């Protein structure tokens, strides 16, 4: 496997999606593969699913980048909002490396998506404050100042209407509560306006699966700053995970 073609895996609460990425261009070398995230999403069960996904890529043997739904420091999961609580203080890189047989580098999933968009997508060459928001099972955020990442922000966990914001405005809530675009659009606008008051960003990028449907709710967004969908749509996490792994190996002696 060529060094610039790296397997990126985006681990989510409902599914794990992976593809080999050309990290020079940000393009997927082949279609993404997907496996279901186990229920319960324990470290042991998820490690087996992760290894299965790696093998689905023609028994890939190179390094693997992993975007993971947690605050991640030095490869260790420190939170577990949408996965099993037994993940807290578990070394993601170690358990996934052992089961897959590949060297795995793990980072926060929203941070990974943000790296992709800042390198190849809607945030490329954007100065000032940029916030990527991933909308899915929860709400993930990645904050950049002049292109530099402030890792592990958790703005999906601010309080809105006396509840954690992601339980009010995540795209999963739209499905769970059967909300119309008008209803959910009003909720996401409340969230974005609140975020704008806190951070005064120059650009907000919407990622996650619902970024494909941006035209259905953009008319409800009233922020002063520009809001745009991620250019790589739901593949941003996969591309960013591969980028992160490439960054890690480039720093090795």
Q: Which residue has the higher pLDDT, 253 or 83?
A: 83
For residues 2 and 224, what is the distance between their CA atoms, to the nearest angstrom? Answer: 44
What is the reported pLDDT for 114?
Answer: 97
The pair of structure tokens assigned to 33 is: 């593969």
What confidence tens digit (pLDDT) does each residue in 104-152 have? 999 999 999 999 999 999 999 999 999 999 999 899 999 999 999 999 9
What confidence tens digit (pLDDT) does each residue in 81-109 have? 889 999 999 999 999 999 999 999 999 99
Q: Which domains occur in the chain, in start order? A: 5-111+235-251 (3.30.420.40), 126-230 (3.30.420.40)
Average pLDDT over residues 232-251: 92
Mean pLDDT across the chain? 95
Is 234's pLDDT higher than 50? Answer: yes
The pair of structure tokens assigned to 182 is: 């008008």
Average pLDDT over residues 25-37: 95
What residue has token string 């047989």?
101
Instruction: Say if residues 19 and 235 touch (Cβ distance below 8 Å).
Output: yes
What confidence tens digit (pLDDT) does each residue in 150-164 have? 999 999 999 999 999
For residues 110 and 156, what is the distance between their CA atoms, to the nearest angstrom? Answer: 11
What is the reported pLDDT for 2?
Answer: 59
For residues 70 and 114, what is the distance between their CA atoms, to the nearest angstrom? Answer: 15
Question: CA 149 from chain center: how many Å?
Answer: 14
The helix (H) or strand (E) run that includes residue 245 is helix 236-251
Is 251's pLDDT higher than 90? Answer: no
What is the reported pLDDT for 59?
Answer: 77
Average pLDDT over residues 214-237: 94
Q: For helices 236-251 and 109-120, what crossing angle results, to 10°?
A: 90
What is the reported pLDDT for 175?
Answer: 94
pTM: 0.94
204-215 in b/e form (b: 16+ CB < 10 A) is: bbbbbbbbeeee
Cis bond upstream, residue 40 (ω within 30)? yes
Q: How many angstroms separate the first and last alpha carbons of the chain?
A: 20
Instruction: Say if residues 11 and 32 touch (Cβ distance below 8 Å).
Output: no
Is 183's pLDDT higher than 50? Answer: yes
What is the reported pLDDT for 1?
Answer: 45
């Amino acid at each position: 496997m060529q060094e610039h073609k790296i397997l990126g895996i985006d681990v989510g609460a409902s599914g794990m999606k992976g593809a080999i990425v050309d990290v020079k261009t940000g393009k997927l070398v082949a279609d993404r593969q997907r496996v279901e995230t186990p229920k319960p999403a324990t470290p042991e069960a998820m490690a087996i699913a992760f290894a299965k996904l790696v093998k689905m890529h023609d028994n890939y043997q190179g390094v693997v980048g992993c975007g993971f739904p947690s605050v991640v420091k030095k490869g260790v999961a420190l939170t577990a909002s949408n996965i099993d609580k037994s993940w807290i203080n578990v070394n993601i890189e170690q358990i996934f490396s052992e089961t897959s047989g590949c060297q795995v580098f793990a980072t926060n999933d929203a941070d990974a998506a943000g790296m992709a968009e800042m390198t190849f997508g809607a945030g490329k060459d954007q100065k000032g404050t940029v916030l990527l928001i991933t909308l899915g099972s929860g709400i993930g955020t990645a904050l950049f100042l002049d292109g530099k990442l402030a890792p592990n922000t958790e703005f999906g966990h601010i309080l809105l209407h006396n509840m954690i914001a992601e339980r009010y405005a995540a795209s999963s809530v739209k499905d769970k509560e059967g909300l119309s675009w008008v209803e959910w659009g009003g909720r996401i606008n409340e969230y974005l306006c609140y975020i704008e008051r806190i951070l005064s960003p120059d650009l907000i990028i919407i990622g996650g699966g619902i970024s494909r449907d941006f035209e259905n709710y953009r008319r409800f967004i009233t922020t002063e700053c520009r809001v745009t969908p991620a250019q790589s749509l739901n593949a941003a996490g996969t591309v960013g995970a591969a980028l992160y792994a490439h960054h890690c190996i480039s720093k090795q002696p």
